[in-house]
Amino acid sequence: MADEDDNMAARLRGFDEKILARDKYSFSRLTYDFRRADGRWERHERNLFRRPDAAVLLPYDPQRKKVLLTRQFRLGAFINDSTPNLLEACAGTIDPDEAPDACMRREAMEEIGLRVHELRLLFEAFVSPAATTEKLYFFVAPYGPDARVADGGGMEEEGEEIEIVEAGFFETLAEAQAGAIRDGKTLTLLYWLKASGLMG
């Protein structure tokens, strides 16, 4: 992997970044030279959204064959095709110097009132690597009715208004297959859980 990184570094030169907007995160215009496999150099110009990594969790109850999800308004989905609310797995942005598992335990309590015991990291994946730096850490965790110890609903001071949805796993899968669930991270975890055999 180190050799591959060194080879790629040798194919890049002349990086220049201009920040177009900076608020909570930054949006930049980057220009650089990229050497193609045939040796020719070409100039690239790209826009890049720099934002922190995030974590996502699908809690599952193997005894009752249920999963815990959230439903909330998402501006991007609404602007794209007027989707009013998305059914999603619990997720949140990792704070500076915060470990992904610590973030996920915090978000689980804030969003769905869930105390997480056995948290399992499945994998890491980039969200949209051509346009953003964000990487997602995917988790699952078993839970039972006694693990719901708070109301959840998100942080009102951050503009969150989150509905907690406990649903049958196989019914949720059927909704996904029918196109009713359209969030990529949630679909990834649902189909992983199906393939795992943990729900029978």
Instruction: Give the Cα separation of 23 and 19 in Å (integer).
Output: 11
Domains delineated in the chain: 2-50 (no CATH), 54-196 (3.90.79.10)
Residue 23 has which token pair?
């608020």
Instruction: Give the Cα separation of 44 and 31 in Å (integer).
Output: 6
Q: Are 62 and 142 in contact (CB under 8 A)?
A: yes
Instruction: Give the Cα separation of 173 and 100 in Å (integer).
Output: 27
Q: Are 31 and 168 in contact (CB under 8 A)?
A: no
Q: What is the pTM of this model?
A: 0.91
pLDDT digits (tens, 9 = 90+) for 125-162: 999 999 999 999 999 999 999 998 888 877 777 767 88
Say whether 65 sits in a helix, a strand or coil.
Answer: coil
pLDDT digits (tens, 9 = 90+) for 23-52: 989 999 999 999 999 999 999 999 999 999
